[in-house]
């Protein structure tokens, strides 16, 4: 029998130190970083695996990604 695969949306951002930070919105607290986007993705795959080992069947169905929007506000300066 073929095992069902789980798919998660991953958000990657670059911090002030130029590191890439990867996080999974559907898994609170599941995040990691890397020197490159590829390293961050490899690390987040491992982090997701560890997260799921600890949470097990308690994981709720992941939210569906819809979009990313930008909001502009006047500067307070």
List phi, psi (to 5°) of 13. -130, 155
Question: What's residue 10's pLDDT?
Answer: 96
Where are the chain's structural domains? 11-58
Its pTM stands at: 0.77
Q: Which CATH class is domain 11-58?
A: alpha beta
pLDDT (0 to 100) of residue 2: 72
Q: What average pLDDT does the chain have?
A: 90
Please identify every stretch of the chain with a pLDDT value under 70, giving residue numbers as ranges: 1, 57, 60-62, 77
Between CA 77 and CA 63 the distance in angstroms is: 37
């Amino acid at each position: 029998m073929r095992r069902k695969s789980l798919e998660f949306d991953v958000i990657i951002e670059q911090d002030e130190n130029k590191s890439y930070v990867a996080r999974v919105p559907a898994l609170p607290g599941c995040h990691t970083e890397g020197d490159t986007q590829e390293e961050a993705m490899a690390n987040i795959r491992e982090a997701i695996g560890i997260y799921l080992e600890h949470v097990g069947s308690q994981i709720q169905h992941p939210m569906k990604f819809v979009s990313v929007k930008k909001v502009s506000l006047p500067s307070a300066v």
